Structure 1
Amino acid sequence: MAKQVHIRVDDTTYEELNEYSTLSGQSMQDYLSVAIRQLLVKKREDVPRKETDYTFIDLFAGIGGMRIAYERAGGHCVYSNEWNRYSQKTYFANFGEYPDDDITKVNAADIPNHDILVAGFPCQPFSIAGVSKKQSLGRATGFEDKTQGTLFFDVCRILKEKRPKAFMLENVKNLCSHDKGRTFKVIQESLEELNYKIFFRILDGKSYVPQHRERIVIVGFDQERYGKNVTFEFNLPLSEKTPVIRDILESDVSDKYTLSDKLWVYLQNYAAKHKAAGNGFGYGIAPLDGVSRTISARYYKDGSEILIAQNGKNPRKLTPRECARLQGFPDSFKIPVSDTQAYKQFGNSVVVPLMSEVAKLVIYNLRKMDKEIALRKRMTI
């Protein structure tokens, strides 16, 4: 719910605001809200950062899971972009800034210089008809031809314009097999064409949170800067304690999260029907001393993929805070939106501690390679 703040302005300021509002078609309230947000962002930018920090940009930022990961690894965010207004609200509540809202309309040259591009870009179909035709005619194709019309194209054009030292991309596991592997082939070729050495691995978050969640992570380093012999290994440390569902549960949960009799009967009948047909579709009761299924953006509908058993009552859905914990967000993370929006946001987010470990490896690699370059320069002087 929006809060109201009353302010007093002199007559001259009021007339200027009224004139601007008329010309721009924007209400005074909206204009002042934007101005206050910009002031808060400027205030945040004035905070000095350590010289040792690596800068990064946060594209398709969602609610900032990747941002938390890179800040934990010693990074400093200089730009963010996310089009969903509810996610923007959550992002602002936690980081004090509103992301830009449409990456396709952003001039890449206007994005601040940065060391690392970070993006959890959506997976979209790539049209290869035009590319195949050009290749059959012996004509060269570039990532503009291969990826135009997809949001991955915006990642490529920013990489081309700003040439960061490295990037880290995250997507669903099925990206590798999407369109019989052609989608991932286009992604690989496009990134390599931009002269980045890429490494990728499908990683499961269950070592860090009590959830089976596989995602592909693609890491790339600038070969124009570091040469062709760049190496990188996904050597991730395991958690000291294996996380289980019991660890994330709240002690006092409202009855509103308990499934209604109608919904519970429907889910049981649905599962029985599919079991009889020989497939495994149906609800999932999460084992308290094990890991859950993968939470998705559809969790808000019925919570069927991850239900918690209750004594003498129907099962219940996870609360938004429990969903946040399931993805590894700290309890200090603010949830300023409705339950429905929160479920969508956490279902679309990343396993924060897993991404934090990858971020540490990326920055470690950069520090090592930058030190080697600096040492070679000193030796040639």
Structure 2
Amino acid sequence: MNKEKFKFIDLFAGIGGIRMGFERNEFECVFSSEWDTFSQKTYLKNFAEMPSGDITKIDIKSIPNHDVLTAGFPCQPFSTIGKREGFQHPTQGTLFFDIVRILKEKKTSSFLLENVAGLKNHDKGKTFDTIIDTLRNELGYWVDFKILDSADFKVPQHRKRIYIVGFKNDSNSLIDFNWPKQSETKVGIGKFIETHEQGYNISKHLQNSYIFKKNDGRPQIVDENSNFPIKTLVSSYHKIQRLTGTFVKDGETGLRLLSENECKATMGFPKDFIFPVSRTQMYRQMGNSVAVPVIEAIANEIRQTLSTLEREVALKIDKNLVAH
């Protein structure tokens, strides 16, 4: 039996991590948007599609109809913008407002929004409360949210992110959405560690003067025997920060940055994913991306819920036809 070909749009697309997770569940991407030119290059190289630019300037009528809106949107405070600038809507002037206007205009069946876990407490919780209130009470979606750690989905990295899922329920059916099951087994980074004599080395001078200036167990050092997930990969990883960084015991200086393939492994990207940009941009793009296996697992549950809702709607139509 063939799966239904649900369609989705990929907003704030980055390098396409959310797209990859949905396409693995046979969703069809019909529109993408990303303003960063370097991310656009990587997206184009891997998906043969140039994302549209600034979402605030895109005419909604040019966006195809779709079943699911996906967005890893930036976090902005809402509490004072509307009042200060005289707008009626509390999210006016923020990028979340563009998600709202698309959902409202297109009457999208479902959505998946992704953000840092700190969104929950951003601006003393006002930002998150405004988001949920807008989605539920203004747009009429059934909404649920959860903070998930990529390490619970067999990704060798701890990466906690908040995921917000919603479904339009015009037929008053019971929404039966289940968050994906988390694995009790953790995957360590060790099995993905490569050997690199050159190319990613951290100089002895930097090690002595900064990296190991204190004996406080930082930064995190890994090798092929490390059977644990690493700390969260951040977009500023290339700046070699001792408090947040994870480095590899390897190379001609004895210590190096994670390689490109090791970064891909920590995010659940395939080895054949291409970065047509500098190494600095590669680190930024990986640090800003999503853990693909987590998205894949959520997308599978969204598909099941959408399929159930479609069947229930079809059944009600059939019953009405019989009754008349």
Do they superpose with TM above 0.5?
Answer: yes
Of 77, 80, 84, the residue aligned with 1:125 is 77
Of 308, 318, 322, the residue aligned with 1:378 is 318
- Structure 1 pair 85–315 and aligned structure 2 pair: CA distance change class (3 A): same
- Report the counterpart of residue 231 of structure 2 in structure 1: 293
- Report the counterpart of residue 117 of structure 2 in structure 1: 173
Residue 4 of structure 2 corresponds to residue 61 of structure 1: no
Residue 151 of structure 2 corresponds to residue 206 of structure 1: yes
Which residue type is aligned with residue 74 of structure 2?
Answer: P
Quote the offset at 1:322 in angstroms: 1.1
- Structure 1 pair 84–254 and aligned structure 2 pair: CA distance change class (3 A): farther
Q: Deviations over 1:95-128 (max 9, x none)?
A: 0010001101001122110000000001112233
Quote the offset at 1:237 in angstroms: 4.9
Which residue type is aligned with residue 227 of structure 1?
Answer: N
The runs of 5 or more residues in structure 2 that have no matched partner are none
Which residue type is aligned with residue 270 of structure 2?
Answer: P
Quote the offset at 1:219 in angstroms: 0.2
Rounded Cα–Cα distance in structure 1 between residues aligned with 2:302 and 2:174: 16
TM-score by length of structure 1 reads 0.77
Q: Deviations over 1:343-374 (max 9, x none)?
A: 00000000001110000000110001111111
Quote the offset at 1:194 in angstroms: 0.7
Quote the offset at 1:271 in angstroms: 4.4
Quote the offset at 1:64 in angstroms: 0.3
Query: Percent of aligned positions with the same letter in both sequences?
Result: 41
Which residue type is aligned with residue 90 of structure 1?
Answer: T
- Report the counterpart of residue 270 of structure 2 in structure 1: 330
- Structure 1 pair 230–131 and aligned structure 2 pair: CA distance change class (3 A): farther
Quote the offset at 1:238 in angstroms: 2.4
Contact kept? 2:189, 2:230, Cα under 8 Å:
yes
- Structure 1 pair 189–271 and aligned structure 2 pair: CA distance change class (3 A): farther
Rounded Cα–Cα distance in structure 1 between residues aligned with 2:85 and 2:196: 59
Quote the offset at 1:286 in angstroms: 3.4
Quote the offset at 1:310 in angstroms: 3.2
The alignment covers a number of residue pairs equal to 314
- Structure 1 pair 113–255 and aligned structure 2 pair: CA distance change class (3 A): same
Contact kept? 1:116, 1:168, Cα under 8 Å:
yes
- Report the counterpart of residue 246 of structure 1 in structure 2: 190
- Structure 1 pair 232–213 and aligned structure 2 pair: CA distance change class (3 A): same
Q: Deviations over 1:245-302 (max 9, x none)?
A: 012222x324221210122123335545xx5xxxx9x422237111100000001111
TM-score by length of structure 2 reads 0.90
Comparing 106-115 and 286-295, the one that deviates more? 286-295
Comparing 120-129 and 92-101, the one that deviates more? 120-129
Match runs of 1:260-275 below 5 Å: 260-268=203-211, 271=214
Residue 122 of structure 2 corresponds to residue 184 of structure 1: no
Rounded Cα–Cα distance in structure 1 between residues aligned with 2:27 and 2:275: 24
Contact kept? 1:196, 1:222, Cα under 8 Å:
yes
- Report the counterpart of residue 218 of structure 1 in structure 2: 164
Quote the offset at 1:188 in angstroms: 0.6
SS at match of 1:257: coil
Match runs of 1:362-377 below 5 Å: 362-377=302-317
Rounded Cα–Cα distance in structure 1 between residues aligned with 2:298 and 2:257: 30
Rounded Cα–Cα distance in structure 1 between residues aligned with 2:9 and 2:140: 20
Contact kept? 1:203, 1:214, Cα under 8 Å:
yes
Of 73, 98, 101, the residue aligned with 2:50 is 98
Residue 93 of structure 2 corresponds to residue 153 of structure 1: no
- Report the counterpart of residue 86 of structure 1 in structure 2: 38
Rounded Cα–Cα distance in structure 2 between residues aligned with 1:336 and 1:222: 39
Structure 1 or 2, whichever has the larger Rg, is 1
Quote the offset at 1:312 in angstroms: 8.1
- Structure 1 pair 172–184 and aligned structure 2 pair: CA distance change class (3 A): same
Quote the offset at 1:236 in angstroms: 2.2
SS at match of 1:145: coil
Which residue type is aligned with residue 262 of structure 1?
Answer: H
Rounded Cα–Cα distance in structure 2 between residues aligned with 1:106 and 1:53: 25
More helix by share: 1
Of 255, 274, 281, the residue aligned with 1:315 is 255
Contact kept? 2:143, 2:164, Cα under 8 Å:
yes
Cα root mean square deviation, aligned: 2.3
SS at match of 2:78: coil
Q: Deviations over 1:153-188 (max 9, x none)?
A: 111111111111100000000000111111100111
- Report the counterpart of residue 76 of structure 1 in structure 2: 28
SS at match of 1:177: helix
Quote the offset at 1:231 in angstroms: 3.4
Quote the offset at 1:131 in angstroms: 5.0
- Report the counterpart of residue 62 of structure 2 in structure 1: 110
- Report the counterpart of residue 27 of structure 1 in structure 2: none
SS at match of 2:255: strand
Contact kept? 2:201, 2:252, Cα under 8 Å:
no
Residue 293 of structure 2 corresponds to residue 353 of structure 1: yes
Which residue type is aligned with residue 259 of structure 1?
Answer: I
